[in-house]
């Protein structure tokens, strides 16, 4: 599994301008900073009722933290596959989320759904990173 705290090695400057190409390029891309949460939040508010794991007796607010966590994880672990990080994501979820607001077993599908959506692996055409 890739270390999420390190940055991949890239050339620091261009010969012609001396500018930091990696910083300039990454700062402007969704891959580096992730999609805008406000846009994602609006997307999931409209999309969640049709998801197979969404229960009719649960509002969007019930799933919201899972969608945000999936978006953040997909951005942070962009060089990893889901299977490589799922155990760590569960550990962090269990340590930092009140189980009365959704256990990992209840929320993992929503987290994965957001992960897939951000990475362009969703069946929905409105994905972000392809």
Residues 22-72 have pLDDT tens digits of 333 333 344 456 688 999 999 999 999 999 999 999 999 999 999 999 999
Number of domains in the chain: 1
Residue span of the structural domain in which 86 resides:
34-119
In a domain, 10, yes or no: no
In a domain, 26, yes or no: no
In a domain, 98, yes or no: yes
Whether 63 and 69 have beta carbons less than 8 Å apart is answered as no
- pLDDT given for residue 121 in this prediction: 78
In a domain, 20, yes or no: no
d(CA 82, CA 108): 11
b/e code 105-127 from CB counts within 10 Å (16+ = b): ebbbbbbbbbbbbbbeebeeeeb
In a domain, 14, yes or no: no
In a domain, 1, yes or no: no
Q: How confident is the model at residue 104 (pLDDT cuts 50, 70, 90)?
A: very high
């Amino acid at each position: 599994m890739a270390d999420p705290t390190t940055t991949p090695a890239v050339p620091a400057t261009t010969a012609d301008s001396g500018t930091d190409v990696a910083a300039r390029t990454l700062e402007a891309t969704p891959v580096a900073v992730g999609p805008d949460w406000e846009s994602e939040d609006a997307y999931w508010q409209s999309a969640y009722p049709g998801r197979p794991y969404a229960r009719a007796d649960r509002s969007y607010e019930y799933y919201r933290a899972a969608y945000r966590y999936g978006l953040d994880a997909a951005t942070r672990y962009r060089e990893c596959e889901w299977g490589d990080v799922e155990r760590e994501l569960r550990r962090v979820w269990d340590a930092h989320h009140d189980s009365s607001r959704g256990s990992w077993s209840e929320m993992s599908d929503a987290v994965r759904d957001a992960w897939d959506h951000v990475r362009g692996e969703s069946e929905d055409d409105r994905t972000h990173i392809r």
